[in-house]
Structure 1
């Protein structure tokens, strides 16, 4: 997993609640392998019309480059538990999602794949939305910088926004570890315990092992 320290780039606003995992990655695209990538299929049915042409009114289609941050409403990532919804966001270049609230399973999947999820109150989220929309309208405005170490979102002309994050998750994201990798940091202790355990209790080991 790619470590998350500081990312800088444009943002995008999806001004809607209940963006579910089937919208994020329609099920028909989930036959592909992880190595093929899911970025092109992110929000496919919203980004493109029935003829496969990009909808010029859709926010993601109005940017000159992929955003690093997405701002949305309540209950982001609801619906089925498909982890590919997180893959689609990360593969598209989005490293941060800011929303009023998140579905629990989606938020858990996000943390395991290097996607930072930030829940903000209405006032702070509204400030961020105004900044992102102004930035889109004027290329001269500063870009967003999300700093996980200091737990801040900053930009030229934006009053710095602070956010909360679980300390354990923060550490894993900074180091690029999933929960299994974090467990393997203690591999010498685990190996020593197993060696001692089986030496003291040889009867627990099958004879044909």
Structure 2
């Protein structure tokens, strides 16, 4: 399905079907406009940079509309749990690839235990047995959400973001690259 937009009172004869090259140029121009006019030289948050980097990639429109950046905190929390379940069902080789691509989070236990870590994550870490691996970081985050009280569910994405501000969107992108999000109906 193609979406067409009618600008102002342009006659229909002025509107043309777009070609793939034109669509690519439109996507690129949209990204430039957002970076130039919305941020005007200030720091662009990682989630926004990641979201903008997806624009124009093949079959990515659905993911863009369902990106963690655009979700409210509660929906982002619920989505993380679903994504973790998808991760668990992956073949070992795909899990390993995702963990390699999330390697910047290695050493996560030090980040939580440094005294500035979120107390809720520290509590979950002390209650269980976790190795300092990406896979165990994801397990800790899932366990933190499962053991939390109802009010914390709504704040879960903020709790994760306190120590790992980019992890949820990075994890989502890795699952997309692994082909997992099609199972959720995010990509058709």
TM-score for the superposition, normalised by structure 2: 0.25
More strand by share: 1
Bigger CA radius of gyration: 1
Higher RCO (CA-CA < 8 Å; seq separation 6+):
2
Higher share in helix? 2
